[in-house]
């Protein structure tokens, strides 16, 4: 189980640097004249904008430009930036759609026990003196289970240069990952595997390590990379190579041109999608208002971004009401939360944690900061995930400042001098909160927490630091030298949770400051439940274990979930088809998009 700690930071919300992309002079493909778009300055005047393309293409706007276009990502933050484009070049063999895996035509079916693609066998293994499995013969033998997963690749799948995709391309990616760092996701997958093998020309099999029944077993495939193009090349700098910047893929589109701040994709002639847009012009600008103005003005067809600050969000809503935009929203997998450090003596009193929770008006945050497009979270397993618990089976903390005051009085935190602040050991009751400096949304959350706690007589001191400093290995989260911490996680298709909520997941010197259990919550029954939930493949046992863990989590309150952020897709009124999803890239169904006459 310790190997799962390789996932330590992959679900932390963060960011990646904007890339520097070589142009055509450095070997990038070229395009036809006039393919580029220019969006600069304020929202453009509609009268000066290019006319709607007559070639059946679409013009898309995004706020972040990926550093590479590979199907392998550094972490969850990098994946959110890259996947909307890499999904068009390298469609995921299994697509996480609404927290459930589905096929995309790359694999012929989703592996399962029922269809025989997932096999479980029992085998004898040797244990060493520490009780760990070893290949060395010892006097201690035990029996364990071993999982294998078979993947049937589409035999018609073709690289955009006309070469068929085969099992060898998937094996090539696996071999490459063992030599070159392809990111946290690939490294975590390697940690699960004993081996990955070719069965036939279009079939591969993943054999997990003995006694490893991680819930991620279904995704132990390796997304193909073109062996015929990459074999024999110097791959020591693969992730920053020319191929990484301008790759050859097998998806519905291929890259025609890439420049700093823009790129153009055209149809892959070997992918069957006759009604798909003929080409895609993509432009990257970090101004939501500019993208919004470009869509309302006519120089973009579709743009995607996170719901901006309330004033701009309301302007977008006004554009929708006036018929200038179509708007589609979805709860983001990024969810904000407030962590209590249980090493702090006063926060070990559950009454104080509950008093803080009931003093915070989370619904007001959703209504004012997100215009009601999200909802208050009651647990760390977000709605939509299969393990989400029924709300009536959880301990909930509705906004109730009177109950908060009662709990504070009960503890003995009272305002003895009438200045509006409660005292602790003769001093004003003061709690410190650390959060990131560059997020306007998080700053607004912290400001509301400050105001809400002040109404019940608690002073909040807010420290803001860079995201890099917050998440660094010797920073306040991993070293656990904070009182309250406000930050975000990124939810995946599977809730997982062992690295976040197990006793072994508490960062400390003994485990070299790994794990994501930053609150330090170590509760025996909850630890047992999360271990069961993340290792069993029996769906009934798994569901029951997740339910029990969430019941204990909400009862003990080591972390107060706040809400999921909101992802937004705006499009011109004539565009049909965008359906943003919490876990799939927002371009997941782009081949079905169209423009009404």
CATH 3.40.190.10 domain locations along the chain = 2-23+53-325+572-595
Contact 35, 96 (CB under 8 A): no
How high is the pLDDT of residue 3? Answer: 38
Question: Which tokens is 213 given?
Answer: 């029944």
Identify the burial level of 39 via C-beta atoms within 10 angstroms of its C-beta, where 0-12 means exposed, 13-18 middle and 19 or more buried: buried
Contact 72, 78 (CB under 8 A): no
How high is the pLDDT of residue 56? Answer: 87
Identify the burial level of 323 via C-beta atoms within 10 angstroms of its C-beta, where 0-12 means exposed, 13-18 middle and 19 or more buried: exposed
Question: What secondary structure, in 3-state letters, does 215-246 show?
Answer: HHHHHCCCCCCCHHHHCCCCCCCHHHCHHHHC
Radius of gyration of the chain (CA): 26
Per-residue pLDDT of the chain (597 residues; tens, 9 = 90+): 333 333 333 355 644 333 444 433 333 344 333 333 444 333 434 333 345 776 789 999 999 999 999 999 988 888 999 999 999 999 999 999 999 999 999 999 999 999 999 999 987 777 777 767 677 787 777 877 899 999 999 999 999 999 999 999 999 999 999 999 999 899 999 999 999 999 999 999 999 988 777 778 899 999 999 999 999 999 999 999 999 999 999 999 999 999 999 999 999 999 999 899 999 999 999 999 999 999 999 999 999 999 999 999 999 999 999 999 999 999 999 999 999 999 999 999 999 999 999 999 999 999 999 999 999 999 999 999 999 999 999 999 999 999 999 999 999 999 999 999 999 888 999 999 999 998 999 999 999 999 999 999 999 999 999 999 999 999 999 999 999 999 999 998 999 999 999 999 999 999 999 999 999 999 999 999 999 999 888 899 999 999 999 999 999 999 999 999 999 999 999 999 999 999 999 999 999 999 998
3-state secondary structure of 192: helix
How high is the pLDDT of residue 216? Answer: 82
Per CATH, the homologous superfamily of domain 333-566 is Dipeptide-binding Protein; Domain 3 (3.10.105.10)
**How many CB atoms neighbour CB 586 within 10 A?**
24
Using alpha carbons, select from 396, 411, 397 the residue that is nearest to residue 347. Answer: 411
How high is the pLDDT of residue 343? Answer: 97
Contact 333, 492 (CB under 8 A): yes
Residues 6 or more apart whose Cβ sits within 8 Å of residue 479: 507, 513
Contact 300, 281 (CB under 8 A): no
Between CA 188 and CA 253 the distance in angstroms is: 29
Chain centre distance of CA 243: 25
Using alpha carbons, select from 576, 16, 8 the residue that is nearest to residue 301. Answer: 576
3-state secondary structure of 422: coil
The CA-atom distances, in angstroms, between 76 and each of 15, 170, 571 are 9, 22, 26
For 40, which DSSP code?
Answer: -
Contact 68, 239 (CB under 8 A): yes
Residues 6 or more apart whose Cβ sits within 8 Å of residue 226: 159, 161, 163, 169, 248
How high is the pLDDT of residue 122? Answer: 84
How high is the pLDDT of residue 425? Answer: 86
3-state secondary structure of 320: helix
* DSSP codes, 467-529: HHHHHSTTSTTTTT--SEEEEEEE--SS---HHHHSGGGS--TTTTS-SS-TT----HHHHHH
CATH 3.10.105.10 domain locations along the chain = 333-566
Report whether CATH 2.40.37.10 matches the domain 2-23+53-325+572-595.
Answer: no
Looking at the whole model, is its pTM more than 0.85? yes
Question: Which tokens is 259 given?
Answer: 């420049």
Residues 6 or more apart whose Cβ sits within 8 Å of residue 210: 123, 125, 133, 144, 145, 146, 194
Between CA 447 and CA 33 the distance in angstroms is: 50
How high is the pLDDT of residue 466? Answer: 96
How high is the pLDDT of residue 11? Answer: 58
């Amino acid at each position: 189980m310790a190997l799962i700690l390789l996932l330590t930071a992959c679900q932390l919300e963060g960011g990646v640097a904007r890339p520097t992309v070589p142009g055509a002079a450095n070997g990038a493909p070229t395009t036809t004249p006039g393919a580029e778009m220019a969006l600069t300055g304020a929202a453009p005047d509609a009268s000066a904008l290019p006319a709607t393309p007559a070639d059946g293409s679409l013009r898309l706007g995004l706020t972040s430009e990926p550093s590479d276009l590979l199907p392998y990502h550094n972490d969850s933050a990098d994946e959110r930036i890259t996947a909307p484009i890499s999904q068009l070049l390298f469609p995921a063999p299994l697509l996480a759609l609404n927290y459930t895996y589905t096929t995309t035509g790359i694999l012929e079916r989703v592996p399962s026990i029922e269809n025989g693609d997932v096999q479980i066998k029992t085998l004898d293994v040797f244990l060493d003196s520490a009780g760990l499995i070893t290949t060395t013969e010892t006097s201690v033998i035990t029996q364990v289970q071993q999982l294998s997963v078979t993947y049937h690749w589409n035999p018609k799948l073709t690289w955009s240069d006309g070469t068929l995709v085969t099992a060898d391309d998937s094996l090539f990616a696996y071999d490459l990952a063992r030599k070159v760092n392809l990111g946290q996701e690939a490294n975590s997958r390697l940690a699960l595997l004993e081996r990955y093998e070719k069965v036939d020309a279009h079939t591969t099999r993943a054999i997990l390590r003995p006694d490893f029944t991680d819930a991620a077993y279904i995704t132990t495939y390796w997304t193909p990379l073109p062996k015929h193009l990459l074999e024999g090349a110097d791959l020591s700098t693969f992730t920053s190579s020319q191929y990484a910047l301008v790759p050859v893929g097998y998806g519905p589109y291929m890259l025609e041109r890439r420049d700093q701040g823009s790129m153009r994709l055209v149809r892959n002639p070997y992918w069957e999608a006759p009604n798909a847009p003929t080409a895609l012009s993509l432009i990257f600008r970090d101004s939501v208002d500019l993208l919004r103005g470009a869509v309302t003005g006519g120089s973009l067809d579709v743009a995607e971004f996170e719901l901006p600050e309330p004033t701009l969000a309301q302007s977008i809503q006004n554009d929708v009401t006036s018929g200038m935009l179509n708007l589609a929203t979805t709860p983001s997998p990024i969810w904000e939360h407030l962590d209590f450090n249980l090493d702090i003596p006063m926060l070990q009193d559950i009454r104080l944690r509950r008093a803080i929770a009931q003093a915070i008006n989370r619904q007001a945050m959703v209504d004012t900061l997100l215009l009601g497009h999200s909802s208050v979270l009651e647990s760390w397993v977000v709605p939509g995930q299969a393990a989400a618990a029924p709300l009536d089976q959880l301990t909930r903390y509705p906004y109730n400042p009177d109950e908060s005051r009662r709990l504070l009085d009960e503890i003995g935190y009272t305002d003895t001098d009438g200045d509006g602040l409660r005292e602790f050991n003769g001093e004003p009751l003061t709690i410190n909160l650390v959060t990131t400096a560059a997020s306007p949304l998080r700053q607004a959350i912290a400001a509301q927490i400050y105001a809400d706690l002040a109404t019940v007589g608690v002073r909040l001191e807010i420290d803001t630091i860079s995201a890099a400093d917050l998440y660094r290995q010797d920073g306040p989260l991993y070293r656990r030298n904070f009182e309250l911490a406000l930050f975000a996680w990124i939810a995946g298709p599977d809730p997982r949770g062992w690295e976040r909520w197990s006793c072994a997941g508490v960062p400390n010197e003994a485990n070299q400051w790994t794990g994501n259990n930053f609150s330090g919550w170590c509760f025996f029954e909850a630890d047992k439940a999360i271990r069961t939930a993340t290792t069993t493949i029996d769906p009934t046992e798994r569901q029951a274990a997740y339910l029990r863990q969430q019941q204990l989590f909400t009862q003990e309150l080591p972390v107060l979930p706040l809400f999921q952020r909101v992802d937004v897709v705006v499009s011109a009124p004539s565009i049909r088809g965008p359906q943003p999803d919490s876990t799939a890239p927002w371009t997941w169904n782009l081949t079905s998009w169209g423009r009404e006459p």
